[in-house]
């Protein structure tokens, strides 16, 4: 988030891709018009307009503008843990790891129960290669919100990265119970089976992933996932 060394994470950038997921920004209704201030004049807008513009900037990949807007929001609401967490996520996507970690730490200091801040900080730890710290934060995110499927996926990927393949598989199994992001779960569970040598199980999950993607409208992140899974299938068949 995402934000996700560069290594791909399980979930898309708007949540945790390239990072991990996760890591949802403030909700904004699809189709809602958002003001588009210049980077030099964001303060002319209301807080709601700034918030919507920041989300729009993130969705459009305009990260420098998003940082300007989140700076303005934090100036107005210095005790908002969510604004710090969201700015940290953008800093993470920009590769500003120290700034991102500072933002996540501040978010958690302001609200120790903010699940997205733990998920985001874990993604930052992953980018720094601090996988034990990342595992602790992903665990905490899931503990605070058992329905946080993105955190569960990121936890499973990180468990796999440290060689705990069986624990990773159990994590993906649990994630499937919540009926969210199944295409990402099948992809990562398939990859875990693949690395463990269970090739039939791996191929089955890869195919389930592609079937789930085919049933959804086109999205760049899903297209990227499909391409990655197809490479894994080719890798598996070439090895066989």
Question: For 98-150, how does the pLDDT look when each residue is reduced to its tens digit (9 = 90+)?
Answer: 999 999 999 999 999 999 999 999 999 999 999 999 999 999 999 999 999 99
- Across 124-219, where does the E strand assignment appear? none
- Report pLDDT for 46: 86
Give the domains, in start order, of the chain with CATH numbers: 1-167 (1.25.40.10), 181-240 (no CATH)
Instruction: Please state, in angstroms and rounded to a whole number, the distance separating the CA atoms of residues 75 and 37.
Output: 17
Query: With bands split at pLDDT 50, 70 and 90, how would you rate the model's confidence at 10?
Result: low
Closest C-alpha to 25, from 62, 74, 76, 59: 59
Residue 181: its pLDDT value, please?
95
Is residue 30 over pLDDT 80? no
Question: Cα Rg for the chain, rounded, in angstroms?
Answer: 18
Tokens of 58: 């993130």
The pair of three-digit structure tokens given for residue 82, joined into one six-digit string: 């969510």
Closest by Cα among 59, 100, 51 to 76? 51
Model-level pTM?
0.81
Residue with tokens 């499973």: 156
What average pLDDT does the segment 167-173 reach? 98
pLDDT at position 22 is 35
Q: What is the pLDDT of residue 175?
A: 97
């Amino acid at each position: 988030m995402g934000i996700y060394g560069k290594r791909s994470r399980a979930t898309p950038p708007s949540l945790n891709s390239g990072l991990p997921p996760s890591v949802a920004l403030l909700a904004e209704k699809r189709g809602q018009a958002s003001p588009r201030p210049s980077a030099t004049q964001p303060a002319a807008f209301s807080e709601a307009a700034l918030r919507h513009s920041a989300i729009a900037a993130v969705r459009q990949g305009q990260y420098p503008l998003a940082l300007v807007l989140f700076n303005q929001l934090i100036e107005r609401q210095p005790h908002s843990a969510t604004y710090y967490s969201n700015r940290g996520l953008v800093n993470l996507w920009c590769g500003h790891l120290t700034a991102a970690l500072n933002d996540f730490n501040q978010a958690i200091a302001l609200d120790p129960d903010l699940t997205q801040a733990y998920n985001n900080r874990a993604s930052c730890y992953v980018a720094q290669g601090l996988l034990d710290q990342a595992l602790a934060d992903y665990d905490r995110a899931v503990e605070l919100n058992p329905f946080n499927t993105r955190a569960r996926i990121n936890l499973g990927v990180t468990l796999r990265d440290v060689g705990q393949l069986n624990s990773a598989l159990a994590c993906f199994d649990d994630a499937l119970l919540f009926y969210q992001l199944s295409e990402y779960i099948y992809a990562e569970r398939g990859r875990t089976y693949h690395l463990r040598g269970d090739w039939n199980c791996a191929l089955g999950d890869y195919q389930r992933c592609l079937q789930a993607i085919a049933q959804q409208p086109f999205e760049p992140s899903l297209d990227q996932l499909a391409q990655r899974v197809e490479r894994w299938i080719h890798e598996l068949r070439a090895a066989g």
